[in-house]
């Protein structure tokens, strides 16, 4: 059964929800991970196949380890992990409060590390699996009012590239996705409605990700860059 399992963090909205719905139509059992049960339930209501909801704060290594072990106990080794959970607080560097700094580093960076660590043992034992890290173009270049957000995403980039090197002699694939802004609630209160209309559709991003990580003989896609035209 593990062949048809996908674990998605931050699955309650945006890209995570879009990926969950698309994988569900392909017959996957979706493991929906997130901090807010009501949001995960909203995503689950739109799925066409089996699912399991797990309330988890990915910044807690203990909680992540417990949840991943629970999934493995029920379904076996996890073949596909999508590290999508993320938060962003935007202002000039000197104005960012301590809690905002901690949340971005803890969820965006530490959360990606903890979830990846938790699935690696099972993937290595089977010598198969795929880890997708949703990074954002903020992991490629610095941006005004996004100093700490970029710092967290640059960290994810470094972790992803290093992990890929560590696993280069295995059949485990690691891919980083660098995409621009999408039309999701992530930008509520930050962008105007007019600006939000120009952003990318998360369903399009989900399709691009899924197409690029399909198993193909003699090649692996290690990174995907998707930028908004405007």
Tell the burial category of 125 from Cβ atoms under 10 Å away from its Cβ (0-12, 13-18, 19+): exposed
Q: Tokens 């295995």 map to which residue?
A: 170
Taking CA atoms, 67 is separated from 28, 54, 92, 110, 144, in Å, by 19, 7, 36, 16, 36
Contact call for residues 174 and 164 (beta carbons, < 8 A): yes
Rounded to whole angstroms, the Cα distance separating 56 from 123 reads 21
Task: For residue 149, indicate whether it is catalytic.
Answer: yes
The residues, ordered by sequence, that sit 6+ positions from 191 with a Cβ below 8 Å of its Cβ are 181, 199
- Of 23, 28, 54, 149, the catalytic one is 149
Task: Please identify every residue annotated as catalytic.
Answer: 149
């Amino acid at each position: 059964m593990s062949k048809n399992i996908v674990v998605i963090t931050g699955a309650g909205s945006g890209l995570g929800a879009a990926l969950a719905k698309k994988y569900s139509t392909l017959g996957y059992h979706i493991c929906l991970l997130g901090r807010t049960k009501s949001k995960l339930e909203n995503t689950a209501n739109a799925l066409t196949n089996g699912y399991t909801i797990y309330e988890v704060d990915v910044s807690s290594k203990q909680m992540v380890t417990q949840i991943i072990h629970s999934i493995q106990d029920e379904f076996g080794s996890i073949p596909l992990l999508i590290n999508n959970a993320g938060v962003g607080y935007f202002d000039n560097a000197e104005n960012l409060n301590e809690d905002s700094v901690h949340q971005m580093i803890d969820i965006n960076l530490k959360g990606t590390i903890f979830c990846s660590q938790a699935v690696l043992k099972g993937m290595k034992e089977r010598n198969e699996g795929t880890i997708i890290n949703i990074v954002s173009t903020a992991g490629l270049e610095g941006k005004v009012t996004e100093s700490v957000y970029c710092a967290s995403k640059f960290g994810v980039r470094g972790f992803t590239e290093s992990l890929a090197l560590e696993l280069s002699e295995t059949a485990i694939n690691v891919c980083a996705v660098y995409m621009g802004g999408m039309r999701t609630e992530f930008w509520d209160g930050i962008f105007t409605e007019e600006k939000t209309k120009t952003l990318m559709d998360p369903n399009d991003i989900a399709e691009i990700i899924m197409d690029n990580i399909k198993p193909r003989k003699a090649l692996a896609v290690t990174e995907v860059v998707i930028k908004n035209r405007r």
